Structure formats: C-alpha cells, structure tokens
Amino acid sequence: MATTLVFQNKAIPVYMSEQNKKAMRKLESILNRKWETGKQALKQCLATLISIEIVGSEATLHALTEHHTLTISLY
C-alpha cells in the first residue's frame, strides 16, 4: 500500500504492507526532529529523499544515491 507524506515541501511516497496511522504520525515527527537535530549524514539523506518504505518498526529512507539510503527505527 502506498501513501504520500509531505516533508520539506515535497510529496514523498511511503510504502507499507498495511495502513498504520500511528506509524505515519511517528515517522513524521521523527523526520522533522532529525531534520533539525540530526547528524550530517542523516540530513544529507533527508535532503535527497525520494521514497520511504516501512517494514515492521523500521523505516528505510531511500535517497537519490544508494550511498545516502538509511534505515531508522520508529519505536
């Protein structure tokens, strides 16, 4: 199932196996917090973010280059 998330004025597709509103709210809050306080590698990933895949309690942030792709924990 795919949905979209607006982050930094960009619509980012979010893919997950089932609709989970709690995970989406948590993801949104984590991304905003990491954008403000995250380390340089995470900020670089967020700046070039093209899609997000949620599997269980982890979100994989896919960036333009595979080198910048990261996985973060939601819980």
Q: What is the mean pLDDT of residues 24-39?
A: 88
Q: What is the mean pLDDT of residues 7-20?
A: 86
Report pLDDT digits (tens) over 35-64: 888 888 888 888 899 999 998 888 999 999
Two structure tokens written together for 55: 């599997």
Planar angle of CA 66, 8, 47, nearest 5 degrees: 25
Q: Compute the CA torsion angle 12, 72, 44, 17 (nearest 10 deg).
A: -20
